[in-house]
Amino acid sequence: MAAIEDLISKIQDESLRKQIAEEVNKLKVNKKFGLIYENHLPERAVLFDMPVKIGSKVTLRRDKKKIYQVAEINGETAICVEGEEQKIFPLSELLYVPEIGEPIYPYLKQLDSIKNAPTSDLWHTLIEAENYHALQLLDYMYHGKVDCIYIDPPYNTGAKDWKYNNDYVDGSDQYRHSKWLSMMEKRLKLAKKLLKDSGAIFISIDDGEACSLKLLCDEVIGKEKFVAQIPWRKRTSKSDVPFGISQDYESILCYANENFIGKVKGKGRKYYETDDFPNKPWRFHDLTKQTTAMERPNSFFTIMNPKNGKEYPANPLRTWAITKETFKEYYEQNRIIFPGDYDFLKISKPVLRYWQEDDMKKAGEAFGMVAASTFLPADVGMTQDGTKELAQIFNDKRFPFPKPVNLIKHLLTIATSNKKDALILDFFAGSGTTLHAVNLLNAEDGGNRRCILVTNNEVSLEEAKNFEKKGVQEGSDEWNALGIARFVTWPRTRCSILGENIKGEALKGNYLGSDRPMSEGFSANAIFFKLGFLDKTSVSLGKQLQELISILWLKAGAIGECPPAEANEKYMIYRESNFAVLVDPVYVNDFKENLSPNIEVVYIITDYENEFNNISAFLNIKKSYQLYKDYLENFKINTR
């Protein structure tokens, strides 16, 4: 640093000298060990549906690298400036770009829905949006309410298939690595806010960024919340092997908050509390030991479950950790757990129970979750299985390297086996495997889990080039129809629920490792939204209430079918959806008389806080929110 400071002192331009000195001081202050990267500004939002005005910052549909400012509008053209450069563009070519830190106000436009469970209030949600802005919106609606997050982010490999999947940052960009980390950091910080105190997050990644992502998660989520780095075998092919080493595995990082499963008793150990052993917390441990039959002949025997006669032979390379005599003793003490004793354990062989007061040193460190090992079972599937599942629906390869349904189902089982009404989020939704897995798990164990997916509507790079040749504009109906959300994620969601392919034909075969036919579909409902943005002035004047109904429905718990947008000068009561809106406080008495007992959330439109407080007290409803003050203050996103 001393040498750099000497060089700075030789800069004659005082202003430049001060600026460089300030940047160098930042490096000194921010110096840290482990993960070091440059923190970049958030990605700019590009708003397709906001009007361009004089003074607006804009970019071009076909080339978003430059930002211009609109100086003048003449009919269908605009004069735009960038520095000293001045150009004329058609208005149809320009997209509004808000300044970093300029508040923007989101709404959700319903695009489609599928209702295959008429008697269920459960609705899954797919949101087409850039996930950074969607997460900011979700934080207000679901702060601290999400039980499990699974994400499969772009791996930063520079692959040129779906830009969404791998090519988030240009491979030739010298800041590619730090931009990727900066992108992930901003999203992980928002994700952390969404998780419950008992929540967990799983993140898929390959070798390229696994080490950096682990350090980043340690910093953002907390090193003490790290559970495991789980290896997942994605393929068996040995083609294209560099240096004779085949990269057959990816990793799944798992972090969990303190109260992830049950109550934590004792330092660093997690215990179960079950009805058959009241006030006696217990945990389990592997009943095998890394010794051979030759080393421990007394522990090489077949264990039989006395309840059903099922036998479990010992592995000659990994014997039981006990002898026949000890087995009898432990069984009489109810310390042997067999598969099926506690379904949420998902064990395939006998394990040993340890009571809280037992000598814990004998057991070593238990994994403490539903899975007793970081090694995944073989039936979670590989990439080829995920590809086959998609091919069943589409009969083509419209999305590369999808995760298999059973893999995500296994992770969700770990996180939500004792939370059957869990809220699950995937904000890098890709092909939609997570929602598919949620439906399969619900069908298997009678759960009522709800899933929220977020994905952009990026088209493949190949398709983008084809559109450019044909003159098809980004954001047009033709362009959007082939974007990932509308071309892959939503069709897969619809088809998997209905049990049919995109041609309406019944799906063939069963789910991997199961006797459940894919054609059976699922008793589930799902709704598809697109994130849009509103003009603040119009919102504050009450001109866009209809556009806010979807957000109000989600914030109220997404119960029942999302009501259609409607205009009413008095009030709106949505009995099946558990919420109501008082549009004009003059009608508060009539409003109260018509409220049904199940209404738990009320939105009150008034500019006066005292009036809002008085009406809230008069209505005596569980939750009430003030519009539009509440919306403008809490729903604004894009701020620093």
- pLDDT at residue 266 in the model: 36
Q: Does residue 268 form part of some domain?
A: no
Neighbours of 519 (CB within 10 A): 16
Query: Is residue 396 located within the same domain as residue 252?
Result: yes
pLDDT > 70: percent of the chain: 84
- pLDDT at residue 268 in the model: 45
Average pLDDT over residues 361-389: 64
Query: Is residue 22 located within the same domain as residue 171?
Result: no
pLDDT > 90: percent of the chain: 49
Q: What is the pLDDT of residues 387-405, one digit of tens each?
A: 999 999 998 888 889 999 9
Backbone angles phi, psi at 271, to 5 degrees: -125, 155
- Domain containing 508 — which CATH number? 3.40.50.150
C-alpha span between 614 and 262 (Å, rounded): 41
Query: Is residue 429 located within the same domain as residue 503?
Result: yes
Lowest mean pLDDT: which of 3-17, 112-126, 163-177, 231-245? Answer: 163-177
- pLDDT at residue 103 in the model: 73
Show which of 528, 561, 594 is a domain's final residue.
Answer: 528
Closest of 596, 452, 490, 442 to residue 114, by C-alpha: 490
The total number of structural domains that make up the chain: 5
Query: Is residue 123 located within the same domain as residue 163?
Result: yes
Query: Is residue 220 located within the same domain as residue 194?
Result: yes
Residue 362 has pLDDT above 50, yes or no: no
Q: Does residue 204 form part of some domain?
A: yes
Query: Is residue 145 located within the same domain as residue 122?
Result: yes
Q: Does residue 362 form part of some domain?
A: no
- Residue 616 pLDDT grade (very low, low, confident, very high; cuts 50, 70, 90): very high
Residue 219 has pLDDT above 80, yes or no: yes
Closest of 47, 76, 48, 96 to residue 477, by C-alpha: 48
Residue 575 has pLDDT above 70, yes or no: yes
Query: Is residue 524 located within the same domain as residue 539?
Result: no
C-alpha span between 183 and 213 (Å, rounded): 11
Phi/psi zone of residue 182: left (φ > 0), alpha (ψ -120 to 50 degrees), beta?
alpha
More confident residue, 466 or 380: 380
SS3 601: strand
- pLDDT at residue 579 in the model: 95
Query: Is residue 146 located within the same domain as residue 183?
Result: yes
Query: Is residue 92 located within the same domain as residue 113?
Result: no
SS3 634: helix
Residue 262 has pLDDT above 70, yes or no: no
**Sign of the dihedral through C-alpha 408, 411, 417, 420:** negative
Q: Does residue 243 form part of some domain?
A: yes
Q: Could you tell me if 24 and 8 are in contact, meaning their C-beta atoms sit under 8 angstroms apart?
A: yes
Q: Which amino acid is at 5?
A: E
Q: Does residue 66 form part of some domain?
A: yes
Q: What is the pLDDT of residues 465-484, one digit of tens each?
A: 888 788 887 778 898 899 99
Q: Does residue 432 form part of some domain?
A: yes
Q: Does residue 363 form part of some domain?
A: no
Show which of 486, 507, 528 is a domain's final residue.
Answer: 528
Residue 283 belongs to domain spanning? 275-355
- pLDDT at residue 166 in the model: 42
Strands (E), 77-173: 77-82, 85-90, 94-96, 105-115, 124-128, 146-151
- pLDDT at residue 182 in the model: 87
Query: Is residue 411 located within the same domain as residue 461?
Result: yes
The CA–CA distances, whole Å, from 114 to 121, 346, 497 equal 13, 32, 8
Show which of 528, 544, 560 is a domain's final residue.
Answer: 528
Query: Is residue 448 located within the same domain as residue 596?
Result: no
Query: Is residue 124 located within the same domain as residue 222?
Result: yes
Q: Does residue 561 form part of some domain?
A: yes
